Amino acid sequence: MGRYFIRRMLEIIPVFFGATFLIFAMVFALPGDPIRALAGEKPLSEAVQREFSEEYHLDETLPVQYAYYIGGLFQGDFGQTFRGEKVIDIMKEKFPITAKLALFAFVFEAILGVLAGVLAGLRRGSFIDNLVLVSTITVVSVPVFVLGFLAQLIFGLELGWFPIAGIQEGTRGFLLPAAVLASLSLCYVARLLRTSLGENLRADYVRTATAKGLSRARVVGRHTLRNSLIPVLTYLAVDLGVLMGGAIVTETIFNMPGIGREVFLAIRGQEGALVVGIVTAGVLIFMFANLIVDLMYAVLDPRIRYD
Amino acid sequence: MAQATGVRRETSARGYEGHLLEVEDLHVEFRTPYGVVNAVNGISYTLDPRETLAILGESGSGKSVSAQAIMGIIDSPPGFITRGTIRYKGRDLLKLPESERRTIRGREISMIFQDALTALNPVFTVGFQIGEMFRVHRGLGKAESKQKAIELMDHVRIPSARERVNDYPHQFSGGMRQRVMIAMALSLDPDILIADEPTTALDVTVQAQIMELLHVLQAETGMGLILITHDLGVVADVSDRLAVMYAGKIVETGNVYDIYGNPAHPYTEGLMSSIPRIDQKGEELNPIKGAPPNLMRIPTGCPFHPRCPYARQRCVDEVPPLYEVAAERRSACHYWEEVLSPKEPISG
């Protein structure tokens, strides 16, 4: 286990350099001049433009710029935007909002997804099962932005239960975007658990458990569910990593000032340092979540051992 | 454990007159989208304490399904018991509510399965799975249950039980896993143990050890044993009585040695001549020609007639009853006398 852990940690190094370089190169390749974009209608003077170019090393080649960036990173400097804000400060400000949104979404999908999956999986072919199947396939096939707008229209405007956008109202403002953000994964969780439960209910060890004279509740709740939840829990853990990386569409629709919306704005403004910083953080979080998943596997399923 | 069991057994054996288990005219069918599968078509047998009844048959002969019917673990739907009675100590199990059957299941009638690797839950330790019997049925605590599990593992001769009680099923060898199953099944001193192909998945040497263990445990506890198998070798050593099943029916029943010495049904005869024997070295094996019938379309009359060398028109038209061949010996063949009579060896 220890060696496995170290190997996995070492794997993060090449992924880190690969990811940062790729993103850096893409931002570098974007057409247009970020300094001119920054100034807007009124052009900046030649001298100011030159000063900017020098400060941000914009005239250098890609490898040199990347080297400057990485060099700074290892001194704890994530760089700064063209407006002079420190990238690290922006991330510190935006990340908690994304994290809160992600946690709410995670709770939604974990609880509702597992509930729907259990109900459908235990009573195959029943009304509940069909309801879950039809509603999940519907939600999965509709794009997130449509769901977002629908939610705003129905629960925000018509019913007035939740604010339509922004976080001025605190936690209440997080519920609607979190539900929309969770909807897709919720469906996957429900379907995954339904299938997994169906398979496990036919397993020999379930027959054994019944033959032991255990109650149906114990056969299902203790023996079957424990096995069926293994793939679901690992999916949920990966998904938490994805959610933490920010939700560009949802955050933008609901005007949540999180990491996702920030990266969207940063791409538009060609804020290279900011884009690379946020995306790299996202990649690292995702890798970490994956590592947790793999370690979780070994805990949940004793047949899996890493050595 | 053995002593306590012995005492209880005496009283329970005395407490009830008549057969321990009586299966009568049992019918089980599976209603599938493709048609009705007639898995068990009117079988009857009895089992007494200390007795071993072997049920012999090919896959699909209904031997496992009939056992599952006794346990009450047939998946329904698609499986339905359409007719018959299963009397355990005089009570018809099929008429009991599920809550009452559950108290019999595992406690008074228990079962072990063919493949102990898949029959044990992969994510719980063997100690937990054995101990669960005591927690659920006897309300014992965690520590006590574990202690009981260790004792049982010891009793079924699993070496260093105390160290292995926290191991998972996949960490055991095939034979040891089946011992774990046996320990679990016998944990509450059942009156009846149903062993569904308990040695099929094991090496030959391990097979013998498991059968020997079952034999010893049966002698200790006095339980009745139903041994389901397709392996004639397993049957001979340990069984008292034998019931041969074909297409969901018992075609021949009687004392093991009588049947082995001289089968009274062509199917049994076919089974005997399809196994290699050391004293007939060099002779050709005579496998039964044809394939077992499709249980959705069982042949008319005697279900074995399409494969039977003795078959005549009567076999197509008329379902043979179980003819009494001798005391305690029956055969479902119109021409059992012909089958039974000594024959010239087929080859020289």
Query: Which residues in chain A are closer than 8 Å to B133, comparing Cβ atoms?
Result: 212-213
* Contact at CB, B136 and A203, closer than 8 angstroms: no
Q: Chain B residue with minimal CA distance to A299?
A: B123
User: Structure tokens of A114?
Assistant: 């597992």
ipTM above 0.90, yes or no: no
| Residue A45 CA to its chain's centroid (Å) | 42
pTM of the model: 0.79
Question: Alpha-carbon distance A275 to A264, whole Å?
Answer: 8
Calculate how close chain A gets to B94, using CA atoms only, in Å: 16
Furthest-apart CA pair in chain B: how many Å? 68
Question: Alpha-carbon distance B348 to B343, whole Å?
Answer: 13
Locus of tokens 């997804």: A113
Of A205, A215, A300, the CB nearest to B121: A205
Q: Chain B residue with minimal CA distance to A218?
A: B136
Helix (H, G, I), strand (E, B) or coil at A13: helix
| Residue B128 near chain A (CB below 8 Å) | no
* Contact at CB, A213 and B105, closer than 8 angstroms: yes
Residue pair B177/B169 in contact (Cβ under 8 Å)? The answer is yes
Residue pair B270/B339 in contact (Cβ under 8 Å)? The answer is no
Extract the residue ranges of chain B whose pLDDT is less than 70: 1-17, 277, 280-283, 342-348
Question: Alpha-carbon distance B248 to B266, whole Å?
Answer: 16
Question: Alpha-carbon distance B273 to B283, whole Å?
Answer: 10
Locus of tokens 């739907």: B77
Tell me the residues of chain A between 205 and 244 that have a Cβ less than 8 Å away from chain B: 205, 207-215, 218, 223, 226-227, 230
| Residue B217 near chain A (CB below 8 Å) | no
| Residue A138 CA to its chain's centroid (Å) | 22
Give chain A's mean pLDDT. Answer: 84
Query: Which residues in chain A are closer than 8 Å to B102, comparing Cβ atoms?
Result: 213-215
User: What is the percent of chain A where pLDDT is above 90?
Assistant: 17
Q: Which of B309 and A271 is assigned the larger pLDDT?
A: B309
Question: Alpha-carbon distance B346 to A14, whole Å?
Answer: 76
Residue pair B174/B203 in contact (Cβ under 8 Å)? The answer is yes
Residue pair B28/B247 in contact (Cβ under 8 Å)? The answer is no
Interface test with chain B among A122, A123, A199, A205, by most B beta carbons within 10 Å? A205
* Contact at CB, A301 and B122, closer than 8 angstroms: yes
Calculate how close chain B gets to A234, using CA atoms only, in Å: 16
Confidence at residue B342, expressed as pLDDT on a 0 to 100 scale: 67
pLDDT digits (tens, 9 = 90+) for A32-86: 666 666 666 667 777 777 777 777 777 777 888 888 888 888 887 777 777 778 8
CB atoms within 10 A of CB B77: 9
* Contact at CB, A303 and B106, closer than 8 angstroms: no
Q: Chain B residue with minimal CA distance to A227?
A: B123
Question: Alpha-carbon distance A279 to A262, whole Å?
Answer: 11
Confidence at residue A234, expressed as pLDDT on a 0 to 100 scale: 87
Residue A11 identity (one-letter amino acid): E
| Residue A212 CA to its chain's centroid (Å) | 43
| Residue B122 near chain A (CB below 8 Å) | yes
| Residue A301 near chain B (CB below 8 Å) | yes
Question: Alpha-carbon distance A149 to A140, whole Å?
Answer: 16
Query: Where do the H-state alpha helices sit in A56-143?
Result: 62-74, 87-122, 127-141
Calculate how close chain B gets to A305, using CA atoms only, in Å: 12
Helix (H, G, I), strand (E, B) or coil at A215: coil
Instruction: Report domain extents, chain A.
Output: 87-300
Average pLDDT for residues A249-263, to the nearest whole number?
Answer: 85
Query: Which residues in chain B are closer than 8 Å to A301, comparing Cβ atoms?
Result: 122-123
Confidence at residue B252, expressed as pLDDT on a 0 to 100 scale: 92
* Contact at CB, A213 and B111, closer than 8 angstroms: no
Look at the domain A87-300 and name its fold: MetI-like fold (1.10.3720)
pLDDT interval class at A87 (50, 70, 90): confident
DSSP state of A80: B
Would the CA dihedral through A15, A20, A25, A26 be positive or negative?
positive
Residue pair B64/B248 in contact (Cβ under 8 Å)? The answer is no
Q: Which of A171 and B345 is assigned the larger pLDDT?
A: A171
Q: Is the pLDDT of residue A176 over 90?
A: no
Q: Omega of the bond prior to B299 within 30 degrees of 0, cis?
A: no
* Contact at CB, A205 and B105, closer than 8 angstroms: no
Query: Which residues in chain B are closer than 8 Å to A212, comparing Cβ atoms?
Result: 105-106, 110, 132-133, 136, 184
Of B110, B118, B123, the CB nearest to A211: B110
Task: Measure Cα distances from B333 to B27, B187, B246, B265, B268 in Å.
Answer: 20, 42, 12, 6, 11
Of A211, A230, A300, the CB nearest to B73: A211
CA angle centred on A192, ends A190 and A194, rounded to 5°: 65
Question: Alpha-carbon distance A266 to A26, whole Å?
Answer: 13
